[in-house]
Amino acid sequence: MCDVNSYKWYKAHHICVKCGHENAVRNHTQCLECMMKSRESARAYNKKNKEKLKEKNRICHSRRYYKLKELGLCTSCGKRKTKNNKTYCDYCSARKNRKTREKYLLNIYATKNMCEIRV
């Protein structure tokens, strides 16, 4: 049997595509055991290459950041122009502000009584 076909067949029958004999977890293509195994191996890989990945990520991010800043583009979306030497465009800074405000409000809701809230 061709691999692609068996993948599709297993998937269609909700059978794990990896081991091919356990039932797949709902909305997934693998059984619990295989999912755990692949998660474990991914974790082991990340652990082993942690510093390398971190460094790579850092370089990648900072390179992108400076490049976008140099071009006068938003460092968040990388698409829109920024004004006054800012790092975010209007859209992203508004979104960021809204997020901060939401967090702030949630915090208030969580810690105060409804009657104390004045927004």
Q: Which residues of this protein are in contact with Zn ion, per CB under 5 A?
A: 16, 18-19, 22, 31, 34, 74, 76-77, 80, 89, 92
Residues in CB range of 65: below 8 A, 6 or more apart: 75, 87
Spatial distance between the Cα atoms of 71 and 88, rounded to a whole number of angstroms: 12
Percent helix / strand / coil, the chain, rounded to 5: 60, 5, 35
Instruction: Pick the closer one to Zn ion by CB: 20 or 117.
Output: 20
Q: Give me the least distance between CB of 37 and Zn ion, in Å please.
A: 8
Q: Which residue number, 77 or 108, has a Cβ lying nearer to Zn ion? A: 77
CB of 22 or CB of 69, closer to Zn ion: 22
Whole-angstrom distance, CA of residue 35 vs CA of residue 109: 38
Name the minimum Å distance from CB 70 to Zn ion.
Answer: 16
Nearest distance from C-beta of residue 58 to Zn ion, angstroms: 21
| CB 16, CB 24: distance < 8 Å | yes
Q: Which is nearer to Zn ion, 22 or 65 (CB)?
A: 22
CA pair distance 115, 119, nearest whole angstrom: 11
Beta partners for 73?
Answer: 81
Name the minimum Å distance from CB 10 to Zn ion: 9
